[in-house]
Each structure stands twice: as C-alpha cells, then as structure tokens.
Amino acid sequence: MEMIPVRGALDYRCFLGAPWRIDFAGSELGEIPYHVILGGSAVLEDPEGSSTRKLIAGDILLFPHGSAHTLHDGSDAAPAPARQRTTLTTAFHENDGTGDRLDMMCGRFIRSAARERLIRAYLPRRLILHAPDNSAAAAAPGTDAQVAGLVGLMRAESATENLGGLAMLNALSTALYAITLRLASEVIEPPDGLLALAGNPRLVPALSAPFNEPARAWTFPELAHRCNMSRATFIRHSQERLGRSASYLLSDIRMTVAANALEASDMPSPSLPDTNRTPPSSGRSSIEWASRPPRRAGCTRARLNSGSGLPPEFCYSRWG
C-alpha cells in the first residue's frame, strides 16, 4: 500500500540450540514485528488464543497488529541462557544449547502510527507464510522465488561485515514487506481484508481504483462496472472478501490520504485554514477534514493522530 510508507529494520539474527525460548512483548504503535525461519524449526505460542503452530525453514511470520507472542523449541525445558554479539551489520542472539539449532532473522516494519487504523482494520492479526515447498500456496509464477531470493540476500548480507551492510539489510527488509504481502494475497485461502480482495482477480480493478484515485467520489456501480459485475454481485463479493462493506474501505482510504496531506504540510496544524486548499493528490479538502476535530463519539484530534481508539462511526459518518 503505497499510501502507507513503510521502512524495514533487521533487529537481530538468532543462532539458538534447544532448549530456547523468546517472549516478545507487544510492539509500539506503528510497528509490525516479523520473523524469518532460515534453519531448524520453532513453535509459536499466541497468548491471544490462536492455536499453537510449528514453523519450519522458509516460513515467514508477521504480526500486523504488533501482538505479543512467544517462540520456543517445543520442549518444556528451561531455556539455556542467551547472550548478544554485535557486528558492524547485525546483532546476534546466541546460546550454548546443544539440541536442535534454530537460525532465524527477527526485525520490524515501521510506519506512521497515524496509519494504525487502516492496518488493523484490513490486515489480519497475524500472518504465517509457509515455505513454498511445504505449502499448497498457489503463488503466481515467480513470487515464491522472489521471496526466497530476497531472504537469501538478507541471510548472506547479515553473515558478513560489508561496507554499507546495515543500510543494505534495512533496504532489503523494507522490500520484504511488499513481497510478503503480495505472496499472502496469492495463497488459495487468504484471510479476510485487503489481502483477500487482492487475491481475487475479478475484484482487483475495484481495489486499485480508489487507491489510485482517492479523491474521486467512487460509486458502487462504477466499481462494479470496472469488475464487469452487476452492482449486487460486486457488493456481495466485496462483502465476503473484506468482511465489511466496500464503503468502509473508501472512507478509510480517504482518511489516510487526509492524514498524509496533513503530515506533509509545512504549516503548523492548528493554523491550517478551513478552506478548499487541497493538495493535488489528496482530494476532498483533505487538510480541512484532517485538521478539523471529529464531531462524533467524542473523538479528539490526539486519538486521530495516534490511530488508536477511533470508533468506526467517525471514519464512516463524515465522508458520505
């Protein structure tokens, strides 16, 4: 999603022998933790109630909502003490365990906290992308190879101390965000939300239109026409895939564009004029909408900027 700028960061690479265990606290707003299993295996425990899952080499795990989680070797043994070792490019997390060994990269995708609502509304709480050779993923030709190639580059770069290696790793980590979401949209049974919508070729024209032209007052008949569907068929399919009405997505896209316009403005936000002074790509007096305090549900401007606690009625009531 180009309207949600993201940068990646590789935090550390784990070389751990069983028994081992890592407890990850919930992330800060605007952060998506990720893990890439390069070798060995790990067991995922999710304190929010999702089932325990075993991850193997080639699997990629993302938590778009920044949820707390635990990874361990699958035993009940007390973990061996771990230590940190830092090179010019990478921090290594190691122990002296003698059991099965894990090789794993851990990092974060970082975005503005003001975009938190869009991420939480349309991406699942967690994403597990299985290694192509060990899943029934129907990825488009080349996508799985692109993911594997990118991970291979990150693995090689993190193992050496090249000049500019840290910048290279962070750039590759940023690219990993886009390519993993693309792969996730191509699996046979993607979750609800934007990934599910993007995974249906018939609905892709309706998904790309509002992202490309957020200022346009899109209607259901126009979007349905782009998909060669009737209005009723389009509404039914989009509801099934998104898990909510497409009008919600249109409203959230416009709110995100408004937040981008406000963030990019060189004027202090309290002095933004209540006029039609609209940046070329934002549409619908975005600065005006984003700078004016919400009128419903007692939502303050601070809550809008933080991206947390926004009641659905606010985002959907003001755009019409």
Helix (H), strand (E), coil (C) string for 62-93: ECCCCCCEEEECCCCCCCCCEEEEECCCCEEE
Predicted TM-score (pTM) of the model is 0.70
pLDDT at 125: 87
Question: Is residue 144 over pLDDT 90?
Answer: no
pLDDT confidence bin for 288, thresholds 50/70/90 = very low
Return the structure tokens found at 30.
Answer: 């605007």
Q: For residues 107, 113, 119 and 125, what is the CA-based torsion angle, rounded to 10 degrees? A: 50
Residues listed for the chain: 320
pLDDT tens-digit profile of 34-89?
A: 999 999 999 999 887 678 899 999 999 999 999 999 999 999 899 999 999 999 88
Under 8 Å between Cβ of 186 and 137? yes
pLDDT confidence bin for 148, thresholds 50/70/90 = confident
Find the mean pLDDT for residues 193-210. Answer: 77
Question: Is residue 223 over pLDDT 60?
Answer: yes
Mean pLDDT value across the chain: 76
pLDDT at 187: 64
Report the C-alpha gap between 71 and 79 in whole angstroms.
11
Which of 133-137, 147-151, 283-287 has the least mean pLDDT? 283-287
Radius of gyration of the chain (CA): 22
pLDDT at 176: 92
Higher confidence at residue 105 or residue 279?
Answer: 105
- Helix runs in 204-264, H state only: 204-212, 220-226, 231-242, 246-264
